[in-house]
Amino acid sequence: MAELLNADVVKQIEDAFAPMKEAVHIMYFGQKENCDYCADTQKLLEEVAVISEKLSLEIYDLDKDADLAKKFNVDKAPGIVITAKDGKTISDYGVRYAGIPSGHEFTSLIQDILLVAGRDSGLMQETRDFLKELTEPVLLQVFATPTCPHCPGAVTLAHQFAMESSMVQAEMISAMEFQALSQKHNVSGVPQTTINDGAANVVGAVPESNMVTELKRITGK
């Protein structure tokens, strides 16, 4: 298979990764059958992982490694979990991808690696205070497409929320790859952030405060 990233892109990523101080570990879950983008996703992650010595990558099979997939709440392939690595300790911040992070979503992938490397969500203090009060799990699923320029903002925001709170898990979902799920949640435009399996839908790349308002409405906080 030919290289997916050309020299110019690799150089840009090298520059972006240069300030990384902490290690990031990427867990990839593929599947042998019925997964059109698994091979390309694995290849893409392999090319990204070698760009920085702060990055490591492990390849798993959704079926063969079912127990591990369940532990990390991965139920789709290709599935990606971006974790923090400190020595031999892996810390899961709830940052997930379902589908290949191509097109504009490749930007999200790079931003999320830097986010996890920084070990800080970068959210406003008011948002951090609200998230500390959560007592019930929150699932944010951001439906996106590779051609959507506004999707990375929505994906990154959801992943920032997950970074900040162990109660929040956030997953970028490729709307085209997982069409049954898109239809279930009536996705007609992207980005769409579906909260708690349909308790609410936020359409568009909204400001941080708007997402907090919606979560407050749902959680009663």
C-alpha dist (Å) from residue 161 to 7, 18, 27, 152, 157: 33, 25, 20, 14, 6
pLDDT for the residue 18: 96
Residue 14's nearest CA partner among 113, 95, 102, 87 is: 113
Q: What is the mean pLDDT of residues 19-46?
A: 96
28 bridge partner residues: 59, 80
Average pLDDT, the chain: 96
pLDDT for the residue 2: 79
Q: How much of the chain exceeds pLDDT 90, in percent? A: 97
In tens, the pLDDT along 80-129 reads 999 999 999 999 999 999 999 999 999 999 999 999 999 999 999 999 99
Q: Is the pTM of this model over 0.85?
A: yes
pLDDT for the residue 220: 81
In tens, the pLDDT along 165-180 reads 999 999 999 999 999 9
